[in-house]
């Protein structure tokens, strides 16, 4: 298995037998929600989709994994989404096969999908790698595999001696012992897994990594072990262990 980090996305290529392009959290239609929160901007769907097509041109993948939150509005679809989603998905599926892992924002997306495109919400293993959006407990079938998730929109603020010098989307590579959250029925045969949190493709979504650690908002972020979590920038630059950021915090 080989990885390529595509800074222009952010997007990830995972190459085993297949060349998979993975993107998460497109949030098409986010502008309507922004307006409801008092931020008024015209739709950037077009340039966002164009960026995705450029990444496809650049990486020439075999298949495309859409790791959830493809659309934004919940609980119901907006007029904008009704209008845009079929065109967006068509433009992609004419180029390559799609795997859609529905996220918490994807209520009602089924109607825009073709047969065989939708994958289970709690994930599935494709070509040796587990995928899910990341808002729920993964299926036991994913245990022991590398599990790739979206949902968290990780972003890194890097500081130097004097001040904050960089803010950038980033990946988090974490480990967990088991998918067992302590709630619900105990999972048998659950073995340690690597989890890769991938940054949001949407250009304005982003949570500070420290926020994710301090206030975990998903089963997997609650289970992750802080001590051997590592950070990688969107372009694949290795930043190092999370530890360094945390000690920075508490000295």
Partner 1 sequence: MKQIELLNPKVQECIKKRGFTHLSDAQSRAIPLILHGKHLVLIAPTGTGKTESAMFPVFNGLLSLPAGGGFKALYITPLRALNRDILSRMQWWCGELGLTVGVRHGDTPMGERRKQALKPPDLLITTPETLQALFMGKRLRQHLKQVRYVIVDEVHDLAGSKRGAQLSVALERLHVYAGEFQRIGLSATVGNPEEIARFLCGARPCSVVQVPVAKHLEISVKYVGDDFKHQTDVLSKALKREGSTLVFVNTRVTAEALGHALFEHGDVEVHHGSLSKEVRIDAEERFKKGEIRTLICTSSMELGIDIGRVDHVIQFGSPREVARLVQRVGRAGHQLNTISRGTVFATGFDDLLESLVIAKKAKGNEIEPVVLPRNAADVLANQVAAIAVEYGEIERSAILEILERTALFSGCEVLLEDVCHQMEEHRLIRNNGGRIITTARARRYLSSNLSMIHDERKVPVFDMVSRRTVGTLDESFVVGWVHTGAVFITKGQLWRVLDIADGKLTVEPAKKAQGELPSWEGEQIPVPYNVAREAGEIRRKQNISDYTDGHEGIAFAKAFLSEMDKNRSLVPTDDLITLENTEEGVVCNVCAGHKANEALGRVLSILISARYGTTVGLDLDAYRMLLRLPSSIRAADVRDLLLTLEPAHMSGILRLALKRTALFKWKLVQIAKKFGAIDADADYEKISIHRLLDFFDNTVVQQEAYRELLSDYMDVDTAAAIVALIKEEKIRVDLGPHSLIGAGGLLSSRDQIPPPTADHAVIASLKRRLEQDDVVLACMNCRDWKSRTVVSRVPENPQCPKCGARLIAAIKPYDEEQYAMIRKPKKNSEERAVEQRLIKSANIVLSSGKKAVIALSARGVGPENASRILGTQAEGDAFYREILKAERTFIQTHRYWS
Residue among 113 and 176 whose Cβ is closer to partner 1: 176
Query: Interface mask (CB under 8 A) for partner 1, residues 133-162, using x and -?
Result: -------------x--------x-xxxxxx
Least distance between partner 1 and beta carbon 64 (Å) = 20
SS3 category, 65: strand
Task: Go through 176-209 and write b for each residue having 16 or more CB atoms within 10 A of its CB, e for each that does not.
Answer: bebbbeeeeeeeeebeebbbbbbbbbbeebbbeb
Q: Supply angle C-alpha 89, 49, 146, rounded to 5.
A: 75
**The only residue of 45, 80, 168, 221 in contact with partner 1, by rule CB under 8 A:** 168
142 close to 219: Cβ distance less than 8 angstroms = no
**Dihedrals phi, psi of 152, to nearest 5 degrees:** -100, -15
> Does 48 contact partner 1 by CB under 8 A?
no
The candidate with the shortest Cα–Cα distance to 104, out of 148, 154, 67, is: 67
**242 lies in the site for partner 1, by CB under 8 A:** no
Instruction: Indicate the residue among 77 and 205 with the shorter CB distance to partner 1.
Output: 205
Q: How far is the CB of 241 from partner 1 (least distance, A)?
A: 8
CB of 17 to partner 1, least distance (A): 13
Cα 55 to Cα 7, 12, 19, 100: the distances in Å are: 9, 10, 13, 18
Q: Which of 70, 113, 126, 205 contacts partner 1 by CB under 8 A?
A: 205
Binding region for partner 1 (CB under 8 A) out of 36-44, 51-59, 111-119, 216-224: 36-44
User: Which residues of the shown chain bind partner 1 in the complex (CB under 8 A)?
Assistant: 1-5, 33-35, 37-42, 44, 146, 155, 157-168, 194, 203-206, 208, 210-211, 214-215, 232-233, 236-241, 244-245, 248-249, 251
């Amino acid at each position: 298995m080989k990885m390529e980090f595509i800074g222009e996305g952010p997007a990830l290529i995972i190459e085993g037998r297949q060349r998979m392009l993975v993107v998460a959290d497109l949030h098409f239609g986010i502008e309507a929600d922004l307006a409801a929160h008092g931020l008024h901007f015209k739709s950037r769907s077009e340039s966002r989709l164009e960026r995705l097509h450029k990444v496809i041109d650049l990486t020439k993948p075999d298949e495309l994994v859409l790791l959830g939150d493809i659309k934004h509005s919940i609980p119901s679809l907006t007029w904008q989404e009704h209008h845009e989603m079929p065109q967006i998905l068509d433009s992609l599926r004419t180029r390559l096969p799609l795997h859609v892992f529905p996220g918490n924002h994807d209520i009602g997306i089924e109607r825009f999908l073709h047969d065989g495109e939708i994958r289970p919400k709690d994930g599935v293993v494709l070509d040796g790698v587990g995928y899910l959006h990341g808002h729920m407990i993964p299926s036991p079938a994913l245990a022991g595999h590398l599990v790739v998730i979206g949902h968290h929109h990780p972003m890194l603020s890097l500081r130097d001696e004097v001040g904050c010098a960089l803010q950038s989307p980033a990946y988090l590579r974490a480990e967990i012992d088991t998918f067992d959250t302590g709630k619900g029925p105990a999972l048998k045969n659950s073995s340690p897994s690597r989890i890769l949190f991938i940054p949001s493709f949407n250009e304005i979504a982003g949570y500070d990594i420290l926020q994710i650690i301090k206030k975990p908002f998903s089963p997997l972020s609650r289970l992750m072990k802080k001590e051997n979590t590592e950070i990688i920038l969107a372009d694949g630059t290795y930043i190092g262990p999370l530890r360094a950021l945390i000690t920075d915090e508490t000295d």
